[in-house]
Structure 1
């Protein structure tokens, strides 16, 4: 009997020892996960950027410090050569939504539930935070004309800046530049004009055109979507009566064109919904986009 009890006790002690080792291993693993990558994903970051000429890219690289001046005072875009280039907002959304390791940036007004916007330096990407100035990634939506606008162009611009036009801006999740604008009365201008440029401004411009044509059916407006730089060059050469830019006008553009802000927009930094990272600093965002931070594990 004593031998049987001794054998049983030995077996129990061995089981406890093995269990203790297993518990220790589980705890170590848990501690390792807690101190490691907390993004919910691992591996190389897929960086999604916009194309050259994009106003969203221009504003983003300036605001994050990805663009810097060299010794000659020239602005240099230091976006990593490994970045995947998307030529439209919709392409950025699709790319990030389909890749758990991706990060991109889009107009705040274009944000939807296929992606997740992260906080930047603790501030959420919201209209209220852009208005308050606590969310730092924001830029104006500008239109530009060459010379004094006349006819349909003048009437349409007056509509955009009116109470009704600014209501269209806010209804589409952008920020009005004038909360106390006067009501609009069309002068009845007729004819056709072309409006062209930024793919970020284009969605709200489409809504503005629809609303304006309901007030003035005599007008015909052709909307052409490309990028901010093309919008400005097209306005300078007479292709467009009104150009669109999702950034400030450059010095050489401002010398030939008259720019007018029609809305304010935030730039949302977006990741895949599977990514549990909720907040990035401006320095971290810059590090990702210049290629200094290349793995999600480096952000723990």
Structure 2
């Protein structure tokens, strides 16, 4: 590339010399010189683009957020300060109105994977190589860093129940909190809540269990379901994936036996009890073509509130 640019610049000098000698018309000389300069400029731009992987930092940031009611959104906006208290004490979600709203973890990942200029957030346990997790304040998004407190963007995974739980639902909860259940949680990229849990010693009762709620919790719940049904063939488990708020209200209304919530209960969510089964980090994700490797917490907040709108401002 450098040799090409030098050749083009030499051509421009030759054209300029010819102009001085009067060997061609002024208009022809000017046009030739301009063309040479344009080629040199384009060549330099091409070389610069190659150095950054053709990522155009002047492009607008495509912000992707989860829907209202999502536990991941609730935890994200709280942890990054996107949610703030108004003068009257009410909480205000300042997520930019320009954000693309996705209704599940899988849709979020697909959206970011398909747009070089996109940014979003997902459960750390759901992260795969279709997208890239950026460091936050210099800390890599890993389960070890969540466990040791280095990576601070983390939240609980809760199951929600109310009084009158059936024997088989109680037994499934016991399995989740057992050594076997906690190991499954850890094996799937989450942080177990009890390092010294006792082995499962359930009675293997018969019956159906309906579990409903958070799309962040449901992947690991599917793994727990599979393992539990292997030891208790008398049980039948149905998992309905939606969001944390639906998981809580469905439990309150008796629509499901166990709710899933990727956040703590709100003060207004009464009549049910939350039990933390795991800890999970929230990964801030970008497209694999994006050269950005690290963002500060303030930069993330600025992006998701709409204050920062182009990638050049976060380089």
TM range (shorter): 0.7 to 0.9
* 1:93 matched residue in structure 2: 109
Distance, in Å, in 2 between the alignment partners of 1:192 and 1:181 is 25
Q: Could you tell me the TM-score, scaled by structure 1's length?
A: 0.88
Q: 1:250, 1:41 → 2: CA distance?
A: 42
The SS at the match of 1:90 is helix
- In structure 1, the partner of 2:215 is 199
Q: Note the 1:159-198 alignment, pairs <5 A.
A: 159-198=175-214
1:170-249 to 2 correspondence within 5 Å? 170-249=186-265
CA distance in 1, matches of 2:56, 2:233: 52
Aligned mate of 1:108, from 124, 135, 145:
124
Whether contact under 8 Å (1:46, 1:103) holds in the other structure is yes
Counterpart contact for 1:186–1:215, Cα < 8 Å: no
Point out 4+ residue stretches in structure 1 off by more than 3 angstroms. Answer: 37-41
What's the secondary structure of 2:233's corresponding residue? coil
Does structure 2 conserve the Cα–Cα contact (< 8 Å) formed by 1:196 and 1:240?
yes
Name which of 243, 260, 263 aligns with 2:275. Answer: 260
Residue of structure 2 in register with 1:144 after alignment: 160
Say if 2:141 and 2:281, in contact at 8 Å, map to a contact too.
Answer: yes
Residues 188 and 61 of structure 1: CA distance in aligned 2, closer, same or farther (over 3 Å): same
Higher relative contact order (CA 8 A, sep 6+): 1
Q: Secondary structure at the match of 1:155?
A: helix
> What runs of 5+ residues in structure 1 fail to find an aligned partner?
1-10
**C-alpha separation in 2, matches of 1:223 and 1:68:** 34
Choose the corresponding residue for 1:123, options 135, 139, 156: 139
- How far the C-alpha of 1:188 sits from its partner, in A, is 2.0
The number of residues matched between the two structures is: 282
Name the CA distance, whole Å, in 1 between partners of 2:237 and 2:267: 28
- Give distance in 2, aligned partners of 1:41 and 1:210: 45
For 2:291 and 2:216, the matched residues in 1 are separated by 27
C-alpha distance after superposition, 1:173-201 (max 9, x if no partner): 11100111100012121111211000000
Q: CA RMSD in A?
A: 2.6
The answer (yes or no) to whether the contact 1:164–1:184 under 8 Å persists in 2 is yes
Of residues 269, 273, 287, the one that matches 1:272 is 287
Which runs of 5 or more structure 2 residues have no equivalent in the other structure? 1-9, 18-36
Distance in 2, matches of 1:241 and 1:230, equals: 13
